[in-house]
Amino acid sequence: MSEPTPIPTHWYNIAADLPVPPPPHLHPGTREPVTPDDMAPLFASALIEQEASTEQYIEIPEPIREVYKTWRPAPLIRAREFEKALGTPARIYVKYEGVSPVGSHKTNTAVAQAYYNAQDGITKITTETGAGQWGSALSFACAKFGIDLEVWQVRASYNSKPYRRFLMETYGGTVHPSPSPLTESGRKILAEHPDTPGSLGIAVSEAVEVAAADPNARYALGSVLNHVVLHQTVIGLEAVEQLRAAGEENADVVFGCAGGGSNLAGLAFPFIREVLHGRATTRIMAVEPAACPSITKGEYRYDHGDVAGLTPLLKMHTLGQDFVPDPIHAGGLRYHGMAPLLSHTVELGYVTGQAVDQTESFAAGVLFARAEGIVPAPESSHAIAACAEYAKRLTEPEVLVIGLSGHGMLDLPAYHEFMQGNLVSTVGDVS
């Protein structure tokens, strides 16, 4: 018997290894690279440092690893029954992040962000959330480190997915539907579009506005930024080791769903590290919903992270800061932009984008649930669908890894709709 895979002691920073450095974030007013002082009203000091770090490895503070112990290392599972169901010669492994207390990978960065804010003496954090996965992860983390949390939740999800709101409230968080009348940005949108379903971009504006106005408050983002991606690398660092412990030298292809890009980047970057150091030829597939296809249909340019233009300009694949996607069930994938670090690796050729339709993704999720017993989050099902399609075409064995970013136990109403045949196809709904 081999030793169990330990929880990583350091996060991996791909920026240190890439042949071309990632473009800097720009100040929204001056369009000059942002300085730590520009970011100080919004983010904890250690997070600002990590955002621009060129260190290859950054130590994970012991109190964070202590909390990680509740669910890490997260399992890497050989999906044999799923392989059989597909009739593929591939060996398929899933890295399962649904074992965290709130059921997704988002706790990996939530715990780190709450910890660093507590270190700075911050007493309140504001944030946005879509389906509520990020809000509940941060609510859990803020409860751990004694910080108040105020969440703006995209209205479509606030109304259709109340259970994660209840979870946020159970951990002590306060939740507002976005757009809300509580902020300048929210009031402006409500005046122009009273019936808007909301978007993550609008909710970010509201949370940023409130944090910027309060010296004891900071803002936290659940995806996209470099420090978030950094924290998520625990996924891939574990997976690379676990795959070796399972007797596999390398992965041929890694599939992950991409909303803001953090779970995929967190899983993929340690695999790309192996490629960059000449030890593997692993290809990475970033699977996005056809309804919000920032990599496959967006432009690669500087754009704002939010609707009001309060956040730094980020060089990324984007559908534009005003893009409001259809209210699809994979709420965590409804963001107009893609993590700058992930976008950069796409541009350098290490990652390929692929769009998957919502119906196809639910069909794969149901097939997976029946084969493996885990009901995947609708977000994760996009990666499963892309992997299934690829695996079915193989005639030779390959090693495939799927990032199973979360479970779908709070998304069962959407599964029910799918099984009733009530989900509409989202192909072509891009404009």
Ligand X SMILES: *Cc1c(COP(=O)(O)O)cnc(C)c1O
Q: Which is nearer to ligand X, 127 or 263 (CB)?
A: 263
Structure tokens at 104: 């997704």
Least distance CB 260 / ligand X (angstroms): 4
What's the rounded Cα separation, in Å, for the pair 137 and 110?
6
Least distance CB 84 / ligand X (angstroms): 25
Least distance CB 419 / ligand X (angstroms): 20
Q: Which is nearer to ligand X, 113 or 405 (CB)?
A: 405
Least distance CB 299 / ligand X (angstroms): 19
Q: Which is nearer to ligand X, 118 or 341 (CB)?
A: 341
Residue 280: partners with Cβ closer than 8 Å, 6 or more residues away: 249, 250, 251, 271, 274
Helix (H) or strand (E) holding 111, with range, is helix 107-119
DSSP state of 91: E
DSSP string, 18-56: -SSPPPPPB-TTT-SBP-HHHHTTTS-HHHHHHHT---S
Residues near ligand X, by CB under 6 A: 104, 106, 133-134, 223, 257-264, 332-333, 377, 379-380, 405-406
Q: Which is nearer to ligand X, 178 or 262 (CB)?
A: 262
Q: Which is nearer to ligand X, 142 or 258 (CB)?
A: 258
Least distance CB 380 / ligand X (angstroms): 5
User: In what order do the strands lie in the sheet containing 76-78?
Assistant: 76-78, 91-96, 399-404, 253-257, 283-289, 351-356
Q: Which is nearer to ligand X, 133 or 343 (CB)?
A: 133
CA distances from 70 to 7, 74, 111, 352 (A): 11, 10, 12, 33
Q: Is 82 within 8 Å of 371 (Cβ atoms)?
A: yes
3-state class (DSSP) for residue 382: helix
Q: Which is nearer to ligand X, 197 or 259 (CB)?
A: 259
Q: Which is nearer to ligand X, 186 or 378 (CB)?
A: 378
DSSP string, 216-281: TEEE--SSSSHHHHHHHHHHHHHHHHHHHHTT-S--SEEEEE-SSSHHHHHHHHHHHHHHHTTS--
Least distance CB 160 / ligand X (angstroms): 16
Phi, psi of 359, deg, nearest 5: -65, -45
What is the distance of C-alpha 255 from the center of its chain?
14
Among candidates 85, 173, 136, which has minimal Cα distance to 363?
A: 85
Least distance CB 75 / ligand X (angstroms): 16
Helix then strand count (H, E) for the chain reads 17, 14
Least distance CB 386 / ligand X (angstroms): 14
